[in-house]
């Protein structure tokens, strides 16, 4: 939460409590929250005593910190956060035992009405931008072409794998810095978007029927298709100074698209930025949270790029979660109306049980059809 968003909540009859120091590292001091109408809680326990708790990460997405918060969670409370329910369903099951309702923001459906609540798109925008800056810093070349008295400097070549939100932002940012940009995605429909940003779309003939699910996310290809994709990408990778990979499948390990052999075809000094590092990485040589140098090629595996630009990451996240909450509040009262697709799809736990069919399927348990209101 950021101070600027608080008036929209107080106007709706919501009292806002903020954990002391919560926004400090992102550039938002406690006084700024108070000035906008929030109250400072005594401590973290007091925040969890509220009816609704906003977090950046909870349950599986927060790791050991998520487990440490479980005793604080109020039995009839509501927690709204990124929770990685598909990737860490066991942690969600532990959360369910608290009796609280957990709404996982990764599951916000990609429908028009929910665009302003889509935290994944917000964070991917930041990650795509930041990835380009990291690459530009690590590359021993400049991105733009320059005509100088000492001769002409040729522009860097950037290849972006995956043209979702992060990939499109990486294309746009690379282009703004003056690089020659090309991109590839298993979904041919994104070609127009890539070209509109000044990138060249790499045509790879694969059977991509069903490459996108009904929620607009890329689906995992089978092993044979991935192998063919790697073979056809080899030339594009070899001639690139920078490769930025962004391919992720919700709740699953990231597909390996960049093999060690492909990296070793790149020129010394080249850079790979793997935005899927937190999910294991798209590059075979990636080590999450670390920098690896192999054959003179630098492979960056950043685990949480939005946290490196906390001011605007917080601003975007706050707008997303405030809009998400206000969708469920009427006359100052919270209503978890399961006839609303947004609420239904994001509700993961309730009344001590798993409430989400996708999570239940992964855990191998049956769930009862919930009441539509409450």
Query: Of 84, 118, 340, 345, which is the active-site residue?
Result: 118
CA angle 59, 26, 282 (to 5 degrees): 55
Annotation marks residue 118 as catalytic: yes
With beta carbons less than 8 A apart as the criterion, state whether 174 and 197 touch.
no
Provide the angle, in degrees to the nearest 10, between the axes of the packed helices 119-138 and 310-326. Answer: 170
Catalytic residue of the set 51, 115, 207, 264: 115
Q: Of 8, 30, 57, 110, which residue is the catalytic one?
A: 110
Catalytic choice (196, 217, 264, 333) = 217
Active site residue 28: no
User: Which is catalytic among the residues 93, 121, 229, 314?
Assistant: 121
Give catalytic status of residue 185 as yes or no. no
64 is known as an active-site residue: no
Is 115 a residue of the active site?
yes
Active-site residue numbers? 110, 115, 118, 121, 217
């Amino acid at each position: 939460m950021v101070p600027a968003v608080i008036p929209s909540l107080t106007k709706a009859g919501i009292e806002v409590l903020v954990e002391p120091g919560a926004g400090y590292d992102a550039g938002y001091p406690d006084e700024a929250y108070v000035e906008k109408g929030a109250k400072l809680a005594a401590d973290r326990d007091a925040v969890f005593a509220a009816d609704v708790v906003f977090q950046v990460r909870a349950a599986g997405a927060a790791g050991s910190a998520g487990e440490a918060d479980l005793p604080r969670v109020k039995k009839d409370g509501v927690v709204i956060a990124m929770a990685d329910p598909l990737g860490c369903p066991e942690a969600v099951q532990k959360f369910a035992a608290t009796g609280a309702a957990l709404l996982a923001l990764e599951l916000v459906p990609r429908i028009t009405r929910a665009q302003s609540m889509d935290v994944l798109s917000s964070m991917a925008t930041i990650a795509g931008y930041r990835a380009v800056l990291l690459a530009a810093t690590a590359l021993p070349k400049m991105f733009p072409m320059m005509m100088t008295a000492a001769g002409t400097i040729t522009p860097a070549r950037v290849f972006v794998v995956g043209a979702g939100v992060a990939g499109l932002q990486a294309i746009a940012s690379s282009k703004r810095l003056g690089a020659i940009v090309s991109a590839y995605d298993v979904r041919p429909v994104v070609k127009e978007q890539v070209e509109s940003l000044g990138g060249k779309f790499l045509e790879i003939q694969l059977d991509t029927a069903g490459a996108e699910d009904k929620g607009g996310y890329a689906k995992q290809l089978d092993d044979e298709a991935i192998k063919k994709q790697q073979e056809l990408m080899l030339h594009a990778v070899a001639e690139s100074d920078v490769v930025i990979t962004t391919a992720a499948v919700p709740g699953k390990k990231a597909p390996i698209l960049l093999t060690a052999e492909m990296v070793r075809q790149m020129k010394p000094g080249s850079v790979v930025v793997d935005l899927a590092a937190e999910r294991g990485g798209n590059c075979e040589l990636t080590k999450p949270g670390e920098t690896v140098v192999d054959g003179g090629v630098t492979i960056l595996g950043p685990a949480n790029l939005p946290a490196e630009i906390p001011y605007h990451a917080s601003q975007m996240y706050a707008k997303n979660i405030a809009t998400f909450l206000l969708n469920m509040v009427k006359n100052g009262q919270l209503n978890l109306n399961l006839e609303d697709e947004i609420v239904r799809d994001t509700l993961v736990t309730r009344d001590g049980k798993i409430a989400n069919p996708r999570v239940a399927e992964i855990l191998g348990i049956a769930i009862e059809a919930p009441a539509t209101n409450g």
